[in-house]
Amino acid sequence: MADIAAAQTSPARTRWLGWIGPELAVVAAGLAAALLFPDDLGFITRINILGIFTLSLALVIGQAGIGTLGQAAMFGAGSYSAALWALHVSAEPLSGLLIGALAGAGVAAASGLLLLRTRGLTLIMLSVAFAQVLLEIANKAASVTGGDDGLADIPVRAILGLFAFDFRGRVGFGYTLVMLVIVYFCLRRLVASPFGLTCRGIKADQLRMRAVGAPVFRHLVVVYTLGGAFAGIAGALSAQTTQVVGLSSLGFELSAEGLVMLSIGGVGHLAGALLGVPTFMIIRHVAAAVNPYHWLLVIGVLLIVTILFLPQGLYGLLHKWRTRLRRGPR
Amino acid sequence: MTERLRLTGVTKSFGGLKVASGIDLSLAEGDRTALIGPNGAGKTTLINLISGALRASAGEIYLDGARVNALDQSTRTRAGIVRTFQVSRLCRDLTVIENVSLPLIQRHRAAFRMWPAPASDRAIRGEAAACLEPLGLAAVADRRVRELAYGEQRLVEIAIALALKPRVLLLDEPAAGVPESESGIILDVLARLPRELPILLIEHDMDLVFRFARRVIVLVAGAILFEGTPAEVAANQAIRDIYLGRDGHGAAGH
Amino acid sequence: MTLFASIMIDGIAYAMILFMITVGLSIALGLMHVVNMAHGAFAMLGGFAAVTLMHRAGWCFEFAVPAAVLFTALASLPIERYLISRVYRRPELDQALLTIGVAFVAIALVNLWLGASFSAIELPPWLSGPIDLGFRSFPRHRLAVILLGFLVSAALWVFIERSRFGIRLRAAVDNAGIAQAVGINTTLLYSSAFAIGAGLAALGGIAGAELLPMEANYPVKYLVLFLAVVAVGGQGTLFGTFLAAILLGVVDTAAKYLLPDIASISFYLTMLVVLAVRPQGLFGRKEAA
């Protein structure tokens, strides 16, 4: 929550920077990446999409403490629903995004009503079970979902009638970058709101929160549903930019990857998602080119080191350096 | 004096184990009642039953004349039954002022507002600061709870309880675990609590009980053994026996 | 009738393998309250160690298997002492992430050490081939697995219920603080229990190599399977894990035989139903809020 004293004395410029500084940083980083690696726009687009996905995890796990390994269920729900919408109703992308968000929210709300009454290993297993059941259903309903082959040639019209998707992926990149910034903006404000603080309280001690009058279960369902909506948006973007959807969008590997990316970046901070995703993706890209098992070794060691020595992840490390730099000149 | 809290015949059993039997209790405006008894007598269990952390097996609980048995813990808290914990339960990674803001957010019904609203946020923060002032916690408002001395943490517990504007306050050993050097502040705070607020206090420290309470309830094995003024309790032979044992070895105190 | 027998025999064999592999995971969860996502790596290690001893060192099956089990149990000790014990008191998420990291490292190391190709475990003559039970003939190996499973379960039960180690184990599962106060060396207890669990997992992995083939991705591929058994049975309970293994093993096998279309869903649906009705698992204890 805003610090009254600071707000009253800081100049307008600093306030404005605090308001959208981080979002501008994301835009700058994205544009820089696109300019430096114009042939890898597809890769960068994937980073943007997974960034949104991991942000949804940062909300659900990092803010509210809901330990889930089934977030892919909402991503996949968003992917498939946006694809089906585009194939059967309308190829207009923004409406597809809305459909994806609703699908993700719906799956989250439905599963959350059961899931969120449990904790620990039970919650983990239930979240995995839901995602797996959804995956098997998608597998069996092949006439609708394409089964094992998935859906392909998903049509996508120009965004707002103006920006048509091109083969080089520039529009896709811009589209996902804009969405990433919008999601980041919304989540940053949510974290700074009373709702966000209450979620952090629930993460810290549920019993304490009940003794403070907070309707804990209701809160958890709401935040889980929100997280599902964002994951659904990420899924929809994936369907629209790659124009294919497969069973892997519902798979356990995706959920686990999201968790790994978030923890490397720093679980407790939204920026952790934005740091962890590119780090993970780039390491995998580089190491896997050498030997697919090498990247597993690197990521495994990175995880162990992070958990044991850098519990706040890369974000914590950067934060420490920044504080040390600030104190330095004295 | 208007009655605020009433228990009639409250009983709780876990299978064959009865932890509370037929408790009848009444708290009116301005009451200062201490609940004492040997370890395992069921004092914290009683607080759990009143606050809703445990559901009573039988009996009725009334707040301001309205029956609250069917309400869960969060709802009872919002209605005004507020308790503190014997071992501090605070959000250790949040700051003191954030901890105290949590109950205020509930009271202001802002818990589901998902965006910052400067005016409203300032109001909440201002009220939180006002809660910390009288307890001497203003200086540590922006420190994380995990960095505080245990005595200060116990005070934050009380600040949170008061921030909820309770109709009834249940204090579970507020001075427990606090070193001698810091317990004086807690006693001061207890003395300055709002006059009309009925308070039920669990304590082992007889000194505190005699200084604070106007009525004492003695709980043994889940049932009320005796109820009276501190002087009456001190003079009662049966109670002395329970506490001091037949041959002078006590069951109470630390 | 033959169908029923087939389902039961295949299902129980599968269940025995699941039980042997996951009992260590359940104990670790109940005793040290640690979610060990790398537990499958011990099953994998057992399999690979046995194969290496038989193919590269030329040992025979009868010696290689116990040696592989022993090796795995010993190898688990430094992993527990230096890595996993450091997250005992940390939140479940941290434990999960650390152990996922360990699993990744294990996969990478096994692959780098043995390469992508790996031979299957060759069974000795007395375990290969069919046995005719009258109505149908079964692979001798499968019946041996069932026998082994029951022997291991019985031995484990006796060990935990009757031996002094077992008493200490049960005390520490029940209440670690009091166990320590009574003088039980919990550090030694944890290491021993962990090693026993790892050794059993190795045995299960070797025995189950036909159903759950050895490959570098083994720990992650079957992670959900192992966790499901523990979650459904209830953590820290021997009987719960046993029953859950039987339930899930038989249901999965039955579905494969009878309703192959929904075979894969049936496993997860069973888990969902059990956990929805009893979140603490079949025999788990309800945890305080």
Rounded distance between C-alpha atoms, residue B105 and residue A195, angstroms: 9
**In this model, does residue B244 exceed pLDDT 90?**
no
Q: Which residues have CB under 8 Å from C177's CB, separation 6+?
A: none
Q: What is the pLDDT of residue C15?
A: 94
Per CB-CB distance under 8 Å, the chain C contacts of A117 are 279
Categorize the per-residue pLDDT at C176 as very low, low, confident or very high, splitting at 50, 70 and 90.
Answer: confident
For C268, which residue in chain A has the nearest alpha carbon? A129
Centroid of chain to Cα B242:
24
User: Could you tell me if residue B237 is inside a domain?
Assistant: yes
User: Could you tell me if residue C272 is inside a domain?
Assistant: yes
Rounded distance between C-alpha atoms, residue A234 and residue A245, angstroms: 12
- B78-89: average pLDDT: 92
**Cβ distance of B116 and A192 shorter than 8 Å:** yes
**Cβ distance of B116 and A193 shorter than 8 Å:** yes
As to burial, measured by CB atoms within 10 angstroms (0-12 exposed, 13-18 middle, 19+ buried), residue C47 is: buried
Per CB-CB distance under 8 Å, the chain C contacts of A252 are 224
Q: What is the pLDDT of residue B51?
A: 94
The pair of three-digit structure tokens given for residue C175, joined into one six-digit string: 């209440």
Rounded distance between C-alpha atoms, residue C167 and residue C181, angstroms: 15
**Cβ distance of C98 and A297 shorter than 8 Å:** no
Q: How close is the nearest chain B Cα to the Cα of A172, in Å?
A: 29
**Cβ distance of C101 and A299 shorter than 8 Å:** yes
**Cβ distance of A124 and C96 shorter than 8 Å:** yes
**Cβ distance of C265 and A125 shorter than 8 Å:** no
Q: What is the pLDDT of residue B147?
A: 93
Using CB atoms, pick whichever of C103, C220, C231 lies closest to residue A122. Answer: C231
- Which chains contact B through at least 3 pairs of Cβ atoms less than 8 Å apart? A
Would you call A37 helix, strand, or coil by DSSP? coil
Instruction: Specify whether the CB–CB gap between C234 and C281 falls below 8 A.
Output: yes
Domain that holds residue C184: 13-121+140-277
Beta bridge partners, A245, equal: A151
Rounded distance between C-alpha atoms, residue A211 and residue B82, angstroms: 7
**In this model, does residue B136 exceed pLDDT 60?**
yes
For C82, which residue in chain A has the nearest alpha carbon? A308
Q: How close is the nearest chain B Cα to the Cα of A237, in Å?
A: 24
Which domain CATH number covers B67?
3.40.50.300
- Count of domains in chain B? 1
The pair of three-digit structure tokens given for residue A188, joined into one six-digit string: 């940053």
Q: What is the pLDDT of residue A12?
A: 66
Per CB-CB distance under 8 Å, the chain A contacts of C35 are 120-121, 124
**In this model, does residue B246 exceed pLDDT 80?**
no
Per CB-CB distance under 8 Å, the chain A contacts of C93 are 61, 67, 263, 267
Would you call B220 helix, strand, or coil by DSSP? strand
Higher-confidence residue: C149 or A2? Answer: C149
Instruction: Specify whether the CB–CB gap between C31 and C236 falls below 8 A.
Output: yes
**Cβ distance of A1 and B90 shorter than 8 Å:** no
| Chain A contacts to B (CB-CB under 8 A) | 1-2, 4, 7, 189-190, 192-198, 200-201, 204-205, 207-216, 219, 222
Instruction: Specify whether the CB–CB gap between B215 and B186 falls below 8 A.
Output: no
- B33-49: average pLDDT: 90
- Count of domains in chain C? 1
> Mutate which of A113, A303, A306, A312 to test chain C, going by most C C-beta atoms within 10 A?
A303
Which domain CATH number covers C256?
1.10.3470
Q: What is the pLDDT of residue C289?
A: 39
Q: What is the pLDDT of residue B251?
A: 44
User: Could you tell me if residue B182 is inside a domain?
Assistant: yes
Q: Which residues have CB under 8 Å from C58's CB, separation 6+?
A: none
| Chain A contacts to C (CB-CB under 8 A) | 61, 67, 69, 114, 117-122, 124-126, 128-130, 132-133, 136-137, 139-140, 206-207, 252, 256, 259-260, 263, 267, 293-294, 296-297, 299-304, 306-308, 311
Hey, which of A209-223, C90-104, C259-273 has the most confident mean pLDDT? Answer: A209-223
Instruction: Specify whether the CB–CB gap between C69 and C14 falls below 8 A.
Output: no
Rounded distance between C-alpha atoms, residue B90 and residue A27, angstroms: 38
**Cβ distance of A195 and B124 shorter than 8 Å:** no
pLDDT tens per residue across span B205-225? 888 888 889 999 999 888 988
User: Which of A148, A115, A302, A322 has its CA nearest to residue A221?
Assistant: A115
Q: Which C-chain residues 211-250 have CB contacts (< 8 A) with chain A?
A: 216, 220, 224, 227-228, 230-232, 235
Q: What is the pLDDT of residue B237?
A: 78
What average pLDDT does the structure give for chain B?
Answer: 88
Per CB-CB distance under 8 Å, the chain C contacts of A256 are 100, 220
Q: What is the pLDDT of residue B106?
A: 92
State pTM to two decimals: 0.89
**In this model, does residue C7 exceed pLDDT 60?**
yes
Using CB atoms, pick whichever of A204, A205, A214 lies closest to residue B111. Answer: A214
Per CB-CB distance under 8 Å, the chain A contacts of B117 are 193
Lowest mean pLDDT among A272-286, B158-172, C47-61: C47-61
Q: What is the pLDDT of residue B181?
A: 78
Q: How far is CA B84 from CA B95, B173, B200, in A?
A: 18, 8, 11
- A79-83: average pLDDT: 96
> Could you write out the DSSP letters of every residue in B36-66?
E-STTSSHHHHHHHHHTSS--SEEEEEETTE
Q: What is the pLDDT of residue A5?
A: 39
Instruction: Specify whether the CB–CB gap between C176 and C44 falls below 8 A.
Output: no
Rounded distance between C-alpha atoms, residue B57 and residue B173, angstroms: 25
For A128, which residue in chain C has the nearest alpha carbon? C224
Helices (H), strands (E): how many in chain B?
Answer: 9, 10
Q: Which C-chain residues 44-63 have CB contacts (< 8 A) with chain A?
A: none
| C-alpha dihedral, C209 to C256 to A70 to A97, nearest 10° | 130
Categorize the per-residue pLDDT at C33 as very low, low, confident or very high, splitting at 50, 70 and 90.
Answer: confident
Per CB-CB distance under 8 Å, the chain A contacts of C98 are 303-304, 307-308
User: Which of A162, A160, A166, A179 has its CA nearest to residue A238?
Assistant: A179
User: Could you tell me if residue C238 is inside a domain?
Assistant: yes
Lowest mean pLDDT among A180-189, A287-296, C204-213: A287-296
Residue whose token pair is 């607080």: B47
- C132-143: average pLDDT: 80
C127 C-beta neighbours (distance < 10 Å), count: 16
Q: Which is it for strands B199-202 and B168-172: parallel, antiparallel or unpaired?
A: parallel
**Cβ distance of A140 and C105 shorter than 8 Å:** no
Categorize the per-residue pLDDT at C282 as very low, low, confident or very high, splitting at 50, 70 and 90.
Answer: confident
Lowest mean pLDDT among C112-126, C178-192, C245-259: C112-126
> Mutate which of A54, A136, A247 to test chain C, going by most C C-beta atoms within 10 A?
A136
pLDDT tens per residue across span A2-45? 443 344 445 666 667 777 888 888 998 888 988 888 888 889 99
Q: What is the pLDDT of residue A315?
A: 92
H or E segment to which residue C272 belongs: helix C263-277
What average pLDDT does the structure give for chain A?
Answer: 89
DSSP alpha helices (H): ranges in B21-178?
Answer: 43-51, 73-79, 96-107, 118-132, 150-163
In total, the C-beta contacts within 8 angstroms joining chain A to chain C are: 127
Per CB-CB distance under 8 Å, the chain B contacts of A4 are 122, 125-126
C261 Cβ under 8 Å from any chain A Cβ: yes
**In this model, does residue A145 exceed pLDDT 80?**
yes
Hey, which of A26-40, B156-170, C56-70 has the most confident mean pLDDT? Answer: B156-170
User: Could you tell me if residue C181 is inside a domain?
Assistant: yes
Q: How far is CA A106 from CA A136, A150, A188, A225, B60, in A?
A: 18, 22, 23, 7, 40
- B149-157: average pLDDT: 90
Using CB atoms, pick whichever of A119, A125, A293 lies closest to residue C216. Answer: A293
H or E segment to which residue A208 belongs: helix A206-210
Rounded distance between C-alpha atoms, residue A288 and residue A274, angstroms: 21
Half-sphere exposure of B67 (CA within 13 A, CB side): 7
**Cβ distance of A212 and B160 shorter than 8 Å:** yes
As to burial, measured by CB atoms within 10 angstroms (0-12 exposed, 13-18 middle, 19+ buried), residue C135 is: exposed
For B93, which residue in chain A has the nearest alpha carbon? A204
Per CB-CB distance under 8 Å, the chain B contacts of A19 are none
| C-alpha dihedral, A61 to A65 to A66 to A67, nearest 10° | 70
Domain that holds residue B199: 3-91+165-244
Q: How close is the nearest chain A Cα to the Cα of B94, in Å?
A: 8
Per CB-CB distance under 8 Å, the chain A contacts of C103 are 300
Q: Which is it for strands B17-28 and C130-132: parallel, antiparallel or unpaired?
A: unpaired
Higher-confidence residue: C166 or B124? Answer: B124
Q: How far is CA A63 from CA A179, A188, B248, C56, in A?
A: 21, 11, 54, 52
Instruction: Specify whether the CB–CB gap between A50 and A233 falls below 8 A.
Output: no
**Cβ distance of A129 and C112 shorter than 8 Å:** no
Per CB-CB distance under 8 Å, the chain A contacts of B113 are 193-195
A31 C-beta neighbours (distance < 10 Å), count: 13
Rounded distance between C-alpha atoms, residue B198 and residue B27, angstroms: 6
> Could you write out the DSSP letters of every residue in C35-81?
--TTTHHHHHHHHHHHHHHHHTS---HHHHHHHHHHHHHHHHHHHHH
| Per-domain residue ranges of chain A | 4-251
**Cβ distance of A114 and C276 shorter than 8 Å:** yes
Rounded distance between C-alpha atoms, residue C37 and residue B182, angstroms: 45
Instruction: Specify whether the CB–CB gap between C205 and C219 falls below 8 A.
Output: no
Q: How much is the CA Rg of chain C, to the nearest whole Å? A: 19
User: Could you tell me if residue C202 is inside a domain?
Assistant: yes
Q: What is the per-residue burial (b if ≥16 Cβ within 10 Å, else e) of B76-111?
A: bbbbbbbbbbbebbbbeebbbbbbbbbbbbbbeebb
Higher-confidence residue: C30 or B10? Answer: B10
Categorize the per-residue pLDDT at A329 as very low, low, confident or very high, splitting at 50, 70 and 90.
Answer: low
Rounded distance between C-alpha atoms, residue C247 and residue C19, angstroms: 11
Instruction: Specify whether the CB–CB gap between C283 and C247 falls below 8 A.
Output: no
8-state DSSP, A58: I
Per CB-CB distance under 8 Å, the chain C contacts of A300 are 100-108
**Cβ distance of B111 and A222 shorter than 8 Å:** no
Rounded distance between C-alpha atoms, residue A180 and residue A30, angstroms: 10
8-state DSSP, C260: G
C7 C-beta neighbours (distance < 10 Å), count: 18
Instruction: Specify whether the CB–CB gap between B187 and B210 falls below 8 A.
Output: no
Q: How far is CA B27 from CA A267, B1, B6, B81, in A?
A: 46, 10, 6, 12
Per CB-CB distance under 8 Å, the chain C contacts of A126 are 272, 275-276
Q: How close is the nearest chain A Cα to the Cα of B55, in Å?
A: 15
pLDDT tens per residue across span A263-308? 999 998 999 999 999 999 998 888 888 877 788 888 899 899 999 9
Q: How much is the CA Rg of chain B, to the nearest whole Å? A: 19
> Could you write out the DSSP letters of every residue in C73-91?
HHHHHHHHHHTGGGGTTS-
Rounded distance between C-alpha atoms, residue B72 and residue A178, angstroms: 44
**In this model, does residue A1 exceed pLDDT 50?**
no
Categorize the per-residue pLDDT at A125 as very low, low, confident or very high, splitting at 50, 70 and 90.
Answer: confident
ipTM: 0.87
